[in-house]
Each structure stands twice: as C-alpha cells, then as structure tokens.
Structure 1
Amino acid sequence: MVIHYKCPNCGSDMAFDAESGALSCGNCGRQDNIEDFSDEFIETVFEEDEAKEYHCNNCGANIVTDADTTATSCSFCGAAVVLADRVSGILAPSLVIPFTISKRQAEEAFIKWCRKGLLTPRGFMSASRIKKITGIYVPFWLYDLKNEAKVHAVGTRVRTYSRGEYIYTETKYYDVYRDLRIDFSRVPVDASEKMDDKLMDKLEPYQYSDLKDFKTPYLAGYIAEKYNYDAKELFPRVKEKMNKPLDDFIRSTVSGYTSVRYKNKNITTKSRKSLYTMLPVWMVYYDYDQSEHIFAMNGQTGKVVGKPPLSKGKIAAWFGGIAGGSFLLMKIISFIVTGGGIL
C-alpha cells in the first residue's frame, strides 16, 4: 500500500517539514499539523505485489524499492510516499523523533564543520563538494535495562611514614563487597543491516524528550528503513555496549583505596522493555580527491560524525612544531637549572 498526503488547498503532494514540524505543501505553502490532518486528504493505493514494486497514483509510474524501504519518493514525479504495509503490524514503530534540521540547515552545518578540521586538506576545508545529502529515518531499538551486579574486590590503603632514621610503608588490605542494582533507560541500538553500527553509535546522544508516538506523516519526504533485526536478536549487542558504563559505575562505588583488585564480578542484565523507534539521520556523501567520503549527521542535534581526509603536510608541520617546542622547552629548563645560555 502506497500513501500520498495531498494538500487540501491545491491537491499537490505534501511532505514533512523539519523546520516547522508540520506537513508542508511545496506548491502553495500550506502547512498542517500532523495530529489534525484529515484522512480525506490521504490517498492510498493497494497493490497485489507489495514486495518490491509499488504504483504511484500521482503520475502512474512504478516505484521500485528494496525489501527494507518504508518511505521514499517517486523517481519520476518526486512525490513523497510512505509504504504503509512496512510500518504496520509487527513492523509498526512505537516512537519517532522527527527531523528538526532541514536539508538546507544540514548542508550549511556540514560545510561549517568541514572548516573546523585542523589537519584536513585546505581544499576539503574551503570547498563545498557535497555529492548528495539524504534524510533517512533509521530503525533503532530503545532498551530499558535492569542490571544486577555482585562484586568482590580487594582494596589496599598504603601509608608511608618515618620514625627516626627509618621510613616505613604500611599496607592494609580490605575485602570489598558490592551488591548493586543499575538501571539504564532508552539505550539505542540501530537495527538496520545497511547502516554502519559504529557511525550510528557516535551520533548519540539524542534528546529523548522529543520522542513522539509514531505517525506515518513524519516519514513523508524522507527515506526510511524497516528493521532487519528484532529486539531479541540485538540484545547481545546492547549488553556489550553497556559493559564500559557498567564497569565505570561499579568503579565509582569503590573509592578511597590506593589500589583495587577485582576477584569476582557477576553481572546479570535483563531487558525490562524495548521499543521500536525511528531516529533521524542525514547521510552526507562528499567528493574529495577522486573518492567519496561518507559522513552522518544527527537530524535532531546537528552532530556530525565520520572520518575526514588528513593532510600529510599539516600533520608533518604539527609534529614538527611539537618537536621544536619540546626542544626549546628543554633548553629553557637547562638554562634555568645550570645558568647557562641557550644555543
């Protein structure tokens, strides 16, 4: 089933506008609140073969998608469409964070980010070579986790003191036990096999106060993917993702010791709740030096992640500056200590 959102004024297609947070008509400029948009202006077309090919009722063309696409646009007329069968039933997201950064704002922010690179080539910093920028709603699972940690460690406290001509070192050993309950809320893990997991992790944090109940109009005008992995399949990954935060929290409860050696650490993690959620991402494809560089931008906060190219000349100059500065510092120290001159 293909869904079109038609403008009540002029009949043109409407799409979600990140700047206003409303359904917007590019033809006459009308804007409608998603919550109040009337069903009579939503056109749907059902197809027998819904696996990969859909029919655009705007221009009559066939819309060919892969099996994971849930929202796209017609390549012939540009109409924004949502493939409703792929966001319904067990595939229906519970929550969504709408885009708050428009395509224009994303382009401007990315170019500004490029110019901040201290070790990037001059051409990368000064030129705008955006090949393509695409707004994608990426499927995530948000987990609420309950962790129980039972820890046994040995802590030491070392004291050094002197009596007469002798210096003594006193070491005391302590058995340390912790029985902890540690809860985490809304831990995101992307559920699309197409997306780079490390890149998606670096886009955090999102502001979850902006979460909204999912409605298909939020997808209009953007690309969206459905999940490839369910919450059970991704549970081992979210556990691994939380290993360091758990260790950091446990260590924060064991303080006041000179050293700590852990003898036993048992952690049990359970999922209290997992919610299928769509999060906004701008994918930026940038041409430089005859190669394509891929970056991602958080579509809510504007945070940019990715690896820009590095300038060998700038790197050499930077290390040369450090080496020169270190040499000069040593000479100054030598002058102060010996009273000599600087060569």
Structure 2
Amino acid sequence: MVIHYKCPNCGNDMAYDSESGTLLCEACGTKETIETLPEENITTTFSEEEAREYNCENCGAVLLTDADTVATKCSFCGAGVVLSDRVSGTLAPSLVIPFTISKDEAVQAFKKWCRNGLLTPKGFMSADRVKSITGMYVPFWLYDINSRVKVSGTATKVRTYSHGDYIYTETKYYDIFRDINLDYLKVPVDASAKMNDELMDKLEPFPYDQLKEFKTPYLAGFIAEKYNYTDQELLPRVNEKIDSFIEDYIRSTVREYETVNYRYKDIDTKKLKSYYVLLPVWMVVYDYEKSEYTFAMNGNTGKVVGKPPISWGKVASWFGGVSVASLFVFRIIILIMGGGFL
C-alpha cells in the first residue's frame, strides 16, 4: 500500500518538515500537524503482495523498490510516498526520532565540517562538491540490558617507607569479591544490512528523550528501510558494545589497589526489552578528484562521521613542526639544568 499526504488547500503532496515538525506543502506553503491532517487528504494505493513494484497515486508512474524500502520518492513527480504495508504488523516501528536538521542546514553543516579538517587537502576543505545528500530513516533496535557480574580475585596494596638507613616495601594482600548489578537502557544497534555498522556506531548518541510514537507521516519526503535483522539476531553485537563498559565498571570498583589478579569473572547478560525504532541520518556523497567519499550525519545533532582524504604534505609538515618544537623544548631543559645548546 502506497500512502500520499495531500495538501487540504491546493491538493499537492506534503512532506515532513524538520524545521517546523509539521507536514509542509511546498507548492502553497500550507502546514498541517500530523495529528490534525484530515483523513480525506490521505490517499492510498493497494498492492496484493509484498512486491517490488508500486504505482504512484499522484502521477501513475511505477515505483520500483527493493524489498526493504519503507519510504521513498517518486522519480517522476517527486512525491514522497510511504509503503505502509512494510511498516505494519511485526514490521511496524514502535518509536521514531524525527529529523530536526533540514537538507539545507545539513549541507551547510557538512561544508563547515570540511573546513575544519586539519589534515585534509586544501581543495577538499574549500570545494563545493556535494554530489548528493539523502535523508534516511535507518532501522535500529534499542535494547534495555541487565548484566549481573560476579568477580573474585586477589589484590595488593604496596607501601614504601624508610627507617634509619633502610628502605622498606610493605605489600598487603586482599581477597576481593564483587557482586555487581548493571542496567543499560536504550543501547542502539543498526538493523540494516546496507548501512556500515562502524559508521552508524560513530553517529551516537541520538537524543532518546526526543523519541516519539511512530506515525507514518514522519517518513513523508524521506527514504526509509525496514530492518534486515531481528532483535534476537543482533544480541551478540549488543553484548560486544557493552563489554567494554562492564570492564570499565569492574575496574572502577578496585582502583584503590596497586594490582588485581582475577580468579574468575562471571558475567550474565540478559535482554530485558527491545524496541524497533527509526533514527534520522543524512547520507552525504562528496566528489573529490574523481573519487567519491561517503559521510553520515546525525539528523538531529548534526554530528558528521566519515573518512576524508588525507594530505600527506600536511601530515609531513605537522610531524616536522612537532619534531622541531620537541627539540627546542629539550634544549631549553638542558640549558636550565646547566648545559648549553648543542
């Protein structure tokens, strides 16, 4: 089923506007809140099966999609459409964080980020070569996790003191035991097979206090996909993400000791709850010297991640500057200590 949101004033298509948080008609400027748009202004086209082909209700063109597409734009008339049968039932997200950064704001923020690159080529920093920028709702699972941790080991405290002509080292040994209960709320893992996991991880954190109950109008005018992996399939990745936090917390409980040797660590991690959500991401393709570079931007915070090209001339200059500065500081120290410049 394809959904169009029609303007009650002029009949043109409306799309979600990140600046106002409403549905906006670009033709006449009418704005409608998602909750108050009249039912008669929501049109649908039905398809009998989960197919790769839909018809645009606006112009009649055939929309060719892959099986994962949830929202898209008609290539002929530009209308934003939502394939609602792919966001219903078990495929329905429970929550969504809407875009708050518009396309124009995203382009400007990306250009500003480019100019801040200390080791990127000068041409990359100043050139205006954004080839494409696409607003996407990426499927994520958010997990509420509990870890019960039991740790046992031997720790030492070392004290050095002098008495007369002698220096003594005193080492005290302690048996340690820790019984720790940890809760982690809304741990995110992207559920799309197409997105780069490392790139998505670096976009965190998202402002989870802005999560809203999912409604299909939020998708209008953007691209969206349904999940490729279930919450159960992604549990190993969740455990990997929180492992370092668990280890850090264990270490924080034994900081008063000089050394710690663990006899055993028993970590029992369980999923308490999972949420299927859609999170806003701007995907930027940048063309520089006949090569394409892909960057991702958090559609709510503006954080940009990606690997820009490196200017090896700048790298050499930077290391050269560090070496000269280090040598100068070393010579100053020698002079203060009574030596002379070499």
Question: Would you call these one fold, judging by a TM-score over 0.5?
Answer: yes
Aligned to 2:100: 100
Aligned to 2:12: 12
Count of residue pairs the alignment pairs up: 342
Mapped to 2, the partners of 1:32 and 1:173 lie a distance apart of 70
TM-score, structure 1 normalization:
0.98
Aligned to 2:165: 165
Aligned-partner SS, 2:27? coil
Aligned to 2:261: 261
Aligned-partner SS, 2:234? helix
Aligned-partner SS, 1:36? coil
Aligned to 1:21: 21
In the alignment, residue 51 of structure 1 is paired with which amino acid? Answer: A
How is 1:284-299 mapped onto 2 (pairs within 5 angstroms)? Answer: 284-299=284-299
Aligned-partner SS, 1:233? coil
CA shift, 1:338, in A, is 2.5
TM-score, structure 2 normalization:
0.98
CA shift, 1:84, in A, is 0.5
CA shift, 1:255, in A, is 2.2
Aligned to 1:200: 200
In the alignment, residue 94 of structure 1 is paired with which amino acid? Answer: S
Mapped to 2, the partners of 1:190 and 1:143 lie a distance apart of 11
| 1:313 to 2:313 alignment | yes
In the alignment, residue 121 of structure 1 is paired with which amino acid? Answer: P
In the alignment, residue 27 of structure 1 is paired with which amino acid? Answer: A
In the alignment, residue 123 of structure 2 is paired with which amino acid? Answer: G
Mapped to 1, the partners of 2:169 and 2:223 lie a distance apart of 66
Mapped to 2, the partners of 1:47 and 1:91 lie a distance apart of 17
| 1:281 to 2:278 alignment | no
Mapped to 1, the partners of 2:173 and 2:51 lie a distance apart of 66
Mapped to 1, the partners of 2:50 and 2:184 lie a distance apart of 39
Mapped to 1, the partners of 2:78 and 2:207 lie a distance apart of 31
Aligned to 1:241: 241
How is 1:140-151 mapped onto 2 (pairs within 5 angstroms)? Answer: 140-151=140-151
Q: Answer whether contact 2:157 2:173 (CA < 8 A) is retained.
A: yes
| 1:72 to 2:69 alignment | no
Q: Which moved more, 1:219-228 or 1:330-339?
A: 330-339
CA shift, 1:278, in A, is 0.3
Mapped to 1, the partners of 2:265 and 2:50 lie a distance apart of 51
Q: Which moved more, 1:153-162 or 1:102-111?
A: 153-162
Gaps of 5+ in 1: none
Cα deviation, 1:122-172, whole Å, max 9, x if unaligned, reads: 001111110000000000000000110001122110000111111110111
Aligned to 1:328: 328
Identity of paired residues, percent? Answer: 65
Gaps of 5+ in 2: none
Mapped to 2, the partners of 1:15 and 1:221 lie a distance apart of 5
Where do 4+ consecutive residues of structure 1 move more than 3 Å? none
Mapped to 1, the partners of 2:38 and 2:145 lie a distance apart of 39
| 1:214 to 2:234 alignment | no
Aligned-partner SS, 1:57? coil
Cα deviation, 1:70-125, whole Å, max 9, x if unaligned, reads: 00000000000000010001000000000000000000000000000111100011
Mapped to 2, the partners of 1:321 and 1:69 lie a distance apart of 51
Mapped to 1, the partners of 2:106 and 2:195 lie a distance apart of 19
| 1:175 to 2:167 alignment | no
Aligned-partner SS, 2:67? coil
Mapped to 2, the partners of 1:175 and 1:38 lie a distance apart of 69
Q: Answer whether contact 2:50 2:67 (CA < 8 A) is retained.
A: no
In the alignment, residue 137 of structure 1 is paired with which amino acid? Answer: Y
Aligned to 1:84: 84
Aligned-partner SS, 2:233? helix
Cα deviation, 1:250-293, whole Å, max 9, x if unaligned, reads: 11122211122222111111111001000000000001121000
Aligned to 2:124: 124
CA shift, 1:49, in A, is 4.6
Cα deviation, 1:9-40, whole Å, max 9, x if unaligned, reads: 00000000001110000100011111222211
Aligned to 1:153: 153
In the alignment, residue 109 of structure 2 is paired with which amino acid? Answer: A
CA shift, 1:237, in A, is 0.8
